[in-house]
């Protein structure tokens, strides 16, 4: 009975099993519905891109959509993240077979109002989707994906690990079969080669050939099955890849060897077939191990939210997944356990290792009785036991923000990878053309099919698009992991390249080069000074100078009262003003006092805070701050790296000069408002400089936004992560120098790997074309080149 194809999924069915609609045949109502949706949306191009690829029938969409609706609350709670007012989720989209499927899903999703970002990885079917909840919700997104015949479900690290574990077991089995059979083939090949010198009867040679055929067959079709799948996928999409080259070469040698074995004309090359597959497979195995090593940091972090925490429930201790714990619950932490949620210590005391957060090796002591009672996720209890109250769910914790940051960074490609991708896209087709030309030349020259075939196979096998493809992503992945272990978080992978190219470092002084903890060193006042009025005024400001004055007042004046001020106004980078009992109050910098017409004396040399009451200066505070440990070392390291270093500050000229001289900075801008800092960075950019701006992310947001790379120092505060490209978890300037060294080293390694890949192919391919390389040697050479690229990339881990 003749078969008919479904117009959507392309599956073949008997005519009676199909339904007809609009002149087209479909296997089910689901496929008919999807076909109508695509046509109504003007997405008929999907079927052209699909080619001969078959899809799974879409009959289960309705039930799956209903299931997703029932589980929606749990999905929102456990998997949806909120960033800048938008929702984000990582999904696995089941049913994606090829680039056409990726194209269709992205097209359909992007066409919907409210979907802001869609990134789908065709290798692991993982999709990152960002949307505006006011325009579209998750249920609608799920239904949309279902409507075109695909099955979405939230990405779960534990489920993914189970799937990968199964893949690893299959991988090991294929590896063992390949090694076992190839080693035995090599022994047989040694005996056969010996026969050339000592003589061997044809019947014995035929037996050896048949034994090699038996051993080579599982190597080619079982150990090499992954290469065949990859080659078939490429063929269906009318492209070529490394798998295409391997399959073409080995299959040609295998078929020719079968012909030679039965016709007894020419040599057999079963040993070459087995060695090519096995060597390349071993290379893949080493490559996977290295890539897993590079990705371990992120994988380990992802698995943390699966761990259980001890929750105090009355007199009982119960275990809960970190994602199930809610704000306000009490969690018990014992020695050796990792903190998975942020909170505040309520009882007990313990020491914590913060190295996974900041790279700081010295343990921190936390106690309910001390002021240091805020506990952060990611830290590890070294000794002691304490109980803390959870402040926020796991998705809002410092650890979750770090995991999200690293996931996003790993997903986005650096600019230099575009070059490698462009070369790789044309590489396989070019090699195929060279191999065919080589075959034609050698067949014309020697008249021997076997000789021409073997040389052509060597050309196909020795070429290595893999090394080109691995040059950038592995190096980047290693750098992200190495940076995290040092308390350096890159927001995107491309930032590593941008940071490596920076030639100018601009510092906002307070909080980066100096401690930011100002202390009053001198205090003068007049008869109109009211300590409570000033205390009330500075209490309304978060500026470090205001806080320092407030601390001085609390330490030196008793009976301070918080007065009810009216008309309170905070003027950025200048000061504050308000009214109390009809009296005008103002506090702030010398510049602010001059603008108000309250001060016309000589310019002050140190950082000063003035307090005016009833339009007269009632008090003046002189403040000083110390340089941060490591600030001088950082500046020296940047200057040794041939970077121009400048400092911006709102302080006066004298205070700025004093700090700059202590650090060896030649270029400073004092009395700078946030707008002045932004204008300075913009001028540098207009001069063609690649500017690295280092600030605290609070009063220099505009300057940070205008720089090539924005760096914030701190301990992973939300404001720092939101406004920067690089977050230094350790409040230590030396980390900045380490970040620059790491970025430059990584960029250098990427260029080395790209250069090595190009030189390797430029040298080895002509040698193979000239007939100087045997297929087995070609396979070994190609595998070693990929491993060499990965091992070179791993050197970024050793950066100190």
Residues known to be catalytic: 508
CA distance 57 to 47: 15
Q: Torsions phi, psi of 562, nearest 5?
A: -90, 110
Cβ–Cβ < 8 Å for 455, 442:
yes
The helix (H) or strand (E) run that includes residue 590 is helix 590-595
CA distance 44 to 551: 70
Would you call 566 helix, strand, or coil by DSSP? strand
* Ramachandran sector of residue 628 (left: φ over 0; alpha: ψ -120 to 50; beta: rest): beta
Would you call 724 helix, strand, or coil by DSSP? coil
Lookup: tokens for 193? 């080669």
First to last CA, the chain: 71
Q: Torsions phi, psi of 472, nearest 5?
A: -90, -50
Indicate the DSSP class of residue 118: E
Cβ–Cβ < 8 Å for 119, 411:
yes
Cβ count near 300 (within 10 Å)? 11
Indicate the DSSP class of residue 223: I
Hey, which residues does 127 pair with through a beta bridge? 91, 120
CA distance 65 to 84: 28
Greatest alpha-carbon pair distance for the chain in Å reads 120
CA neighbours closer than 13 Å in the CB half-sphere of residue 175: 14
Indicate the DSSP class of residue 60: T
* Ramachandran sector of residue 771 (left: φ over 0; alpha: ψ -120 to 50; beta: rest): left
What is the separation of C-alpha 530 from the centre of its chain, rounded to a whole number of angstroms? 54
CA distance 84 to 131: 11
Indicate the DSSP class of residue 627: B
Give Cα separations from 703 to 34, 41, 543, 706 (angstroms).
Answer: 50, 44, 18, 5
* 3-state helix/strand/coil string of 333-349: ECCCCECCCCEEEEEEE
Would you call 321 helix, strand, or coil by DSSP? strand
Looking up tokens 């080259």 gives 245
Question: Which is it for strands 566-571 and 519-525: parallel, antiparallel or unpaired?
Answer: unpaired
CA distance 208 to 69: 63
Cβ–Cβ < 8 Å for 593, 610:
yes
Would you call 578 helix, strand, or coil by DSSP? strand
Cβ–Cβ < 8 Å for 636, 663:
no
CA distance 28 to 103: 24
């Amino acid at each position: 009975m003749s078969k008919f194809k479904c117009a959507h999924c392309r599956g073949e069915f008997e005519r009676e099993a199909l339904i007809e609609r609009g002149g087209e045949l479909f296997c089910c109502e689901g496929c008919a519905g999807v076909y109508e949706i695509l046509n109504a949306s003007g997405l008929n191009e999907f079927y052209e891109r699909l080619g001969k690829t078959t899809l799974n029938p879409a009959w289960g969409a309705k039930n799956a959509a209903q299931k997703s609706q029932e589980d929606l609350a749990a999905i929102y709670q456990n998997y949806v993240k909120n960033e800048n007012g938008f929702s984000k989720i990582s999904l696995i989209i089941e049913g994606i077979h090829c680039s056409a499927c990726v194209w269709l899903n992205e097209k359909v999703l992007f066409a919907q109002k409210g979907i802001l970002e869609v990134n789908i990885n065709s290798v692991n079917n993982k999709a990152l989707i960002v949307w505006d909840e006011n325009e579209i919700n998750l249920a609608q997104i799920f239904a949309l994906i279902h409507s075109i015949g695909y099955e979405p479900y939230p990405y779960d690290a534990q489920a993914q690990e189970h799937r990968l574990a199964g893949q690893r077991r299959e991988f090991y089995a294929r590896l063992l079969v390949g090694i076992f059979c190839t080693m035995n083939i090599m022994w047989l090949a040694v005996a056969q080669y010996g026969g050339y010198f000592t003589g061997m009867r044809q019947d014995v040679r035929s037996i050896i050939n048949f034994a090699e055929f038996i051993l080579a067959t599982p190597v080619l079709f079982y150990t090499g099955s992954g290469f065949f799948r990859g080659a078939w996928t490429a063929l269906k999409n009318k492209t070529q890849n490394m798998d295409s080259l391997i399959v073409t070469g080995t299959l040609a040698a295998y078929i020719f060897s079968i012909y030679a074995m039965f016709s007894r004309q020419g040599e057999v090359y079963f040993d070459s077939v087995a060695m090519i597959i096995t060597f390349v497979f071993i290379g893949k195995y080493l490559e996977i191990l290295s890539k897993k090593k590079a990705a371990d940091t992120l994988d380990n972090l992802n698995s943390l939210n699966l761990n259980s925490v001890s929750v105090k429930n009355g007199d009982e201790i119960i275990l809960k997944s970190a994602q199930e714990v809610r704000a306000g619950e009490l969690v018990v932490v014992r020695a050796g356990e990792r903190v998975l949620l942020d909170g505040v210590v309520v009882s007990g005391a313990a020491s914590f290792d913060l190295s996974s957060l900041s790279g700081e090796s010295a343990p921190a002591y936390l106690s309910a009785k001390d002021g240091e009672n805020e506990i952060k996720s990611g830290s590890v209890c070294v000794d002691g036991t304490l109980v803390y109250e959870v402040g926020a769910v796991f998705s809002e914790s410092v650890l979750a923000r770090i995991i999200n940051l690293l996931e996003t960074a790993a997903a986005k490609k650096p600019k230099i990878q575009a070059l490698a991708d462009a070369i790789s896209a044309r590489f396989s087709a070019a090699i195929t053309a060279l191999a065919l030309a080589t075959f034609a030349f050698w067949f014309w020259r020697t008249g021997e099919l076997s000789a021409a075939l073997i040389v052509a196979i060597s050309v196909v096998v020795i070429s290595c698009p893999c090394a080109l493809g691995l040059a950038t992503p592995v190096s980047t992945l290693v750098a992200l992991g190495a940076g995290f272990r040092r308390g350096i978080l890159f927001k995107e992978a491309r930032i590593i390249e941008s940071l490596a190219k920076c030639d100018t470092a601009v510092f906002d002084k307070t909080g980066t080069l100096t401690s930011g903890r100002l202390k009053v060193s001198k205090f003068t006042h007049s008869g109109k000074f009211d300590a409570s009025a000033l205390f009330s005024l500075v209490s309304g400001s978060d500026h470090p100078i205001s806080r320092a004055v407030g601390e001085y007042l609390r330490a030196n004046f008793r009976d301070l009262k918080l007065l009810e001020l009216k008309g309170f106004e905070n003027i950025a980078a200048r000061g504050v003003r308000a009214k109390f009992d009809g009296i005008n109050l103002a506090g702030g910098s010398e510049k602010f006092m001059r603008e108000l017409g309250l001060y016309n004396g000589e310019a002050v040399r140190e950082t000063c805070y003035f307090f005016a009451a009833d339009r007269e200066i009632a008090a003046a505070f002189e403040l000083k701050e110390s340089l941060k440990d490591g600030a001088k070392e950082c500046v020296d390291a940047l200057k040794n790296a041939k970077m121009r270093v400048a400092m911006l500050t709102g302080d006066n000229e004298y205070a700025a000069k004093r700090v700059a001289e202590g650090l060896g900075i030649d270029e400073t801008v004092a009395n700078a408002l946030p707008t002045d800092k932004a204008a300075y960075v913009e001028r540098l950019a207009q001069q063609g400089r690649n500017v690295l701006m280092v600030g605290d992310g609070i009063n220099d947001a505009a300057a940070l936004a205008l720089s090539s790379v924005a760096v914030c120092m701190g301990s992973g505060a939300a404001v720092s992560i939101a406004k920067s490209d690089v977050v230094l978890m350790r409040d230590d300037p030396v980390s900045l120098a380490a970040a620059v060294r790491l970025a430059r080293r990584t960029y250098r390694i990427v260029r080395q790997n790209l250069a090595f890949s190009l030189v390797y192919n430029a040298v080895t391919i002509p040698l193979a074309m000239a007939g100087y390389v045997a297929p087995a040697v070609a396979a070994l050479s190609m595998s070693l080149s990929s491993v060499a690229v990965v091992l070179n990339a791993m050197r970024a881990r050793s950066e100190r």
